[in-house]
Structures are given as C-alpha cells and as structure tokens.
Structure 1
C-alpha cells in the first residue's frame, strides 16, 4: 500500500543522504512498482491538475495530472533536478539544448506507467500527453519548484522568456475543457 506521508519522509531522507537525484529516483522507482496502490492512495484522476504534496526549500513533491492531449511549452526548472514517476498513462518529453539565443531539439523520451526517470539540473524540456486519457505522475524536485527564476521558450521562435504560470494554468483549463467535451 502506498502511503503519501511515508513517501514524503523517504524522499526527504534521500535528499539528506545525497543531494543529487539518485536516491530519490530509487525511492520513486519503488513506488512506481505498484501503480494501482498510488491510484488508490491519491485517487482516480478526473481532470488535469497540479497538487502539492510537499513543498520546502530542499524538496518539492507534486502530484501532476496531465490533461489529455496537452502540450506544455519548453521550460526549465530553475536549476534544480527532477525525478518523474508515472503511475498512469504516458508522458512524452522533448529535450532541448541552448543554441545561441534560442534552443533546438536534442532528444526525446516517453515515460509510461511504472517508469521513474531523472531530469538533470540544466534540463530544458517540453511535456506532451499525446493520449486521449489523463496521465498521472509524481514530480519530485530537488529544491523549491515555485521559486522565481524559471524560464520558458516561445513556441514560435524558441526564444527564452520568464515562465508564465498563468499561461500554464490556462493551458490546463483549455485541455480539461477539450477532455470534458470529448467525454460528453
């Protein structure tokens, strides 16, 4: 059985032991081994959302429900590593690298139910849920995810700008509306 409080404490202990993503990835991989237990503990998702499970200076844990068919612009995480554990659905990541004052695609990875994958401190990525279903994932960050300083890249010309949280919320709302209309 998955216990949210125990998972948080194990992640906090892992960060205290090793401030890289390695120990947290192991904790997350163990949790992803039983996706049904996570669904039971966290609830069956009904729409896209972002729920804080833990937020501190050294660690942020989010339960992220990606709406169906959402495409999130390229962004970074303010120079903090992340571990993504998918417990339902699929999350596709496109990785980007800086090239002058823009970025260019540098690779991709699909994360499926049961996967636990690290993202380095300097990673720039965009996230896509290419399916018609919700995707459920734990996102664990090695620092304060909500601290200012994150960037995103304009999808039209791939130039850097400050991260726009309101725009991301709008994307979630629009994707949720599309999902509800298709389900009706």
Structure 2
C-alpha cells in the first residue's frame, strides 16, 4: 500500500458527487489487502490515532485499539467511513429520543469490512478481542476541530467532546495496559 497514493485517491474521491460512497470505494480497495495495510502502517502495539491527513474537508487516520478497549457513545457531526485491516470492531448504534439516547442496533466489523456512517450517527465502539485492532477512519470534515458530543457510558448523559478528549481516552487506555507510549 502506497500511503501517499491512498491519500491522493481519497482526496480525489471526496470531490465526487457522492463523496462518502466514492471515498468508501477507495477505502474498501485498501482494506481488501490487509497485509499491505499492515506493512504500510505497522502492526498495532498501542492505542492511538496515526493521522495521515487533517484538512477542513477530509480527515484520515489509522485508529488502533488495545485488547478489549471501549469507547463511549459519541457522534462525529460529519459522515464517517471505517475499514478494518486487523482485528475486529464492534459498534452499538444509538438513536436520540426525548429521553436521551437508546441503543438501536449493532454491527461487527471484521478484517476487510467497511461501514459508512451518516452525519447524524451516534455509536460506541468495542474491540472484543484479546489482541489489537486496527482500522482506517475517514471523515468528511475536520475531525479534530469539530465540537461533538459523547455520552457518559454509565448515565448516558451528553457531554462535550472533540479530538483532544478522544486522544485522552486512547492515552488512558495505554496507561491502563502499562503502555506508556504517546497515543
């Protein structure tokens, strides 16, 4: 996998009429050869976000999850495509109701799988495995400079979130496992 070519292909696809679907095609091609992605990005050994591109119109990063890592319900406020190149990612989807959020579905992503999340999606993420998971995440906007929401995993109360708060979650996970590398 040529990372620079992948990024260029995603940027070009993001100019298409149905940008999310076009970008997902590029992502699906990439994760269809997971060994090539692993060779390009490396075997995951900590929780982290390896940012490949951050712009006002597109953010691309490799997210790596520690064994049995959980991320509370959260939204993105932009479309998102996720493709798994090692491990597994389980998603619970949530719907807003007059009483808050309620679980409304689930999806398990295995190696080579992709998913397209709409702009209004709320989901929580779990790596159910006893090994690391790696996925490429692509967002139709500036993921790190967008104010979003997350929900307390116990009370499901809505709280503010942004890229810095998500990075803190990954850092705490590394500390929990005694992996003191920067996330």
Distance 1:164 1:9, change over 3 A: closer
- The structural deviation recorded for 1:166 is 5.4
- Counterpart CA distance in 2 for 1:36 and 1:158 is 38
Q: Which runs of 4+ in 1 moved over 6 A?
A: none
Match of 1:14 in 2: 13
Matched residue SS, 1:175: helix
TM-score, normalised relative to structure 1: 0.91
Output aligned runs, 1:14-93, within 5 Å. Answer: 14-77=13-76, 79-93=77-91
Kindly indicate whether the alpha-carbon contact (under 8 Å) linking 1:68 and 1:179 is maintained by their aligned counterparts in 2.
no
Matched residue SS, 2:14: helix
Structure 2: 5+ residue stretches without partners:
none
Kindly indicate whether the alpha-carbon contact (under 8 Å) linking 2:49 and 2:167 is maintained by their aligned counterparts in 1.
no
Match of 1:130 in 2: 128
Kindly indicate whether the alpha-carbon contact (under 8 Å) linking 2:94 and 2:105 is maintained by their aligned counterparts in 1.
yes
Structure 1: 5+ residue stretches without partners:
none
- The structural deviation recorded for 1:56 is 0.5
- 1:117 corresponds, among 115, 118, 122, to 115
Kindly indicate whether the alpha-carbon contact (under 8 Å) linking 2:90 and 2:125 is maintained by their aligned counterparts in 1.
yes
Match of 1:161 in 2: 159
Instruction: Please give the root-mean-square deviation of Cα atoms over the aligned residues, in Å.
Output: 1.7
Distance 1:50 1:119, change over 3 A: same
Kindly indicate whether the alpha-carbon contact (under 8 Å) linking 1:8 and 1:54 is maintained by their aligned counterparts in 2.
yes
